[in-house]
Amino acid sequence: MKNLRLKAARAAKDLSQEELARRVGVSRQTILAIEKGEYNPTLRLCLDICRVLDKTLDELFWE
């Protein structure tokens, strides 16, 4: 399932996939795969993404 909440939160912060990836220490392709629903990130990566985007796990990853 696509993660449109992550994509929207990233866009709201005016961050490219590349910039978000750099801030959390992964490749742009990893962020793309998460947004497309093709990769299930680790809890650590989820937390790092939430920190950068000022969101909670519930807001970005849990249904």
Give the Å distances, CA to CA, from 27 to 33, 38, 44, 45: 10, 14, 15, 12
What is the per-residue DSSP string for the chain? ---HHHHHHHHHTT--HHHHHHHHTS-HHHHHHHHHT-----HHHHHHHHHHHT--HHHHT--
* 23 and 52 Cβ atoms separated by less than 8 Å: yes
**pTM beyond 0.85:** yes
User: What homologous superfamily is domain 4-60 in, according to CATH?
Assistant: lambda repressor-like DNA-binding domains (1.10.260.40)
Query: Residues 1-58: pLDDT tens digits?
Result: 789 999 999 999 999 999 999 999 999 999 999 999 999 999 999 999 999 999 999 9
Boundaries of every domain in the chain: 4-60
